[in-house]
Structure 1
Amino acid sequence: MSKRLLVLRHAKAEVGLGLADHERPLAERGRRDAAAMGDFLRAQGLEPDLVLCSTALRTRQTLEELGLTAPARFERSIYTGDGYDLLDLVHLTGAEVEEARTILLVGHNPAVHELVIVAGGEQVEDFPTCALGVIELADWQARGGTLLAYRTPKTI
C-alpha cells in the first residue's frame, strides 16, 4: 500500500521583533493561511496519521492553526536539517510507525523545498510560506516518489 508524505512550509511569520529566529511567532496572515490549509487537508481527505513538526514557534503555531487531530512529534532536526536529513527522518519515523498511511512534516525553507524536489521527483520553482507538497511513496523507505499535488494558500 502506498504512503503519502505531506510537506508543509510553516505559515507567514512576524519579521524581526528582536526575537531569536526560533521564537518568531506567526503573523495574522499566517494564522489565516494555516487555518485555510487545514480546511483544505480535511476537504481533500489528506488528514495525517502522524505529524513531524519543527520545534520552532512558528511551526508549532502553524500546526495548531491547521486544527488536525493526529499525534505530533516535535523534532529539532527539522529546524536545522536539509532536505536529505528530513527524508532520513521520514525513513526512521516510518519504520517506527509502518501502519501510518500519511505523515505530515511541518518545517522550514530551504529544507522543505528541497525535500519536495528530492522525494517528489519534480522541480518546484517556488515554495512560499504555507506551501504544501503531496508526495506518494511506495513505502516509508523509498528514496523518491511522485509529486501528486503542489498547493499554496493562493491555490487552495
Structure 2
Amino acid sequence: MIRPVAHRLLLLRHCEAAPAAAGDFGTKGDLARPLTEAGHKMARARGESMRRTGLVPDLVLCSPAMRTRQTYAGLLPFGNSARPEIRIEPTLYLAAPDELLARLRATPDEVHTILLVGHNPGLPALARYLNGVESALESDFALGTLATFHVEVEEHESVALAWKSLGPKTAWLESFSQN
C-alpha cells in the first residue's frame, strides 16, 4: 500500500511593477516591466512570511516576465539547504487557466511542492477551478497574493497520482494571503 505524501500548490501573483516604457504597448515592453521599489519590498516580505510558515517549493515555475522573475528572486533564500529547481517557461506568460493546468499536470509526482509565479487573470481562474467555492477567490489576485493549496493524492492501481489527476475539487485552499 502506498502512503500518500502531502503535495502543495502555491500560486503567487507577481508584486508591483512599473508601467511599460512610454509608448511601448506591445509584448516586448510588457515582458520588460521591472518591479518598483515597493514591489521589491513586497517580494522580500512575502519570502519572509513563506520562510516563517515553512513553505519551501521543490519546483518553481515562473513566467519569463521581468516582474515575475524579480518577484521570485525577492523570495530567496527559502532556507538553509533548500534549492528548488527553477524553470522560466515562456508558455506561462499571461497563460490561461487551462494552459497552467496542463503544465502542472505534466509535473512528476516526486515533486511535492510547486510554486507557480504568474499573472492575472490566469492564476485566480485556476484557483477557482481547482477549489470550487472559496469566497476569497471570487476576484482577481491583488499584487503579491499567495494562495496555498493542499493537493489530494489519488491512488489508482497501486500508483499514487497527484499532479496528473489535478482537476476540479482536487486542491483545497489552505491559506489566502494578500499583502
- SS of structure 1 residue aligned to 2:93: helix
Match of 1:27 in 2: 36
1:89-100 correspondence runs (5 A) = 89-92=103-106, 94-95=107-108, 98-100=109-111
- 2: CA distance, partners of 1:130 / 1:31: 10
Partner of 1:101: 112
Identify which of 141, 149, 173 aligns with 1:147. 173
Q: Which residue of 2 aligns with 1:73?
A: 87
CA offset at residue 108 of structure 1? 0.5
Taking only aligned residues, the RMSD between alpha carbons, in angstroms, comes to: 1.3
Contact 1:91 1:140 (C-alpha < 8 Å) held by counterparts: yes
TM-score (norm 2): 0.79
Cα deviation for residue 74 of structure 1 reads 0.6
Once residues 114 and 33 of structure 2 are traced to their aligned partners in structure 1, the CA distance between those partners, rounded to angstroms, is: 25
Whether the aligned pair in 2 keeps the contact of 1:119 and 1:135 (CA below 8 Å) is no
Q: Secondary structure at the match of 1:7?
A: strand
State the one-letter code of the partner of 1:117: R
Q: Does 1:16 align with 2:20?
A: yes
In 2, are the aligned partners of 1:120 and 1:136 still within 8 Å (CA)? no
Q: Unaligned stretches of 5+ in structure 1?
A: none
Aligned mates of 2:53, 2:114 — CA distance in 1:
15
- TM-score w.r.t. the length of structure 1 is 0.90
Count of paired positions: 150
Larger radius of gyration: 2
Q: Distance in 1 between matches of 2:58 and 2:44?
A: 18
1:129 alignment partner in structure 2 = 143
Q: Deviations over 1:104-136 (max 9, x none)?
A: 000010001111111232341331011011011
After TM superposition, the structure 1 = structure 2 runs for residues 17-56 of structure 1, keeping only pairs within 5 Å, are 17-18=21-22, 19=24, 20-56=29-65
Percent identity between the aligned chains?
A: 37
Q: C-alpha offsets along residues 58-95 of structure 1, whole Å, 9 cap, x if unaligned? A: 00000111114422101111114211210110110x22
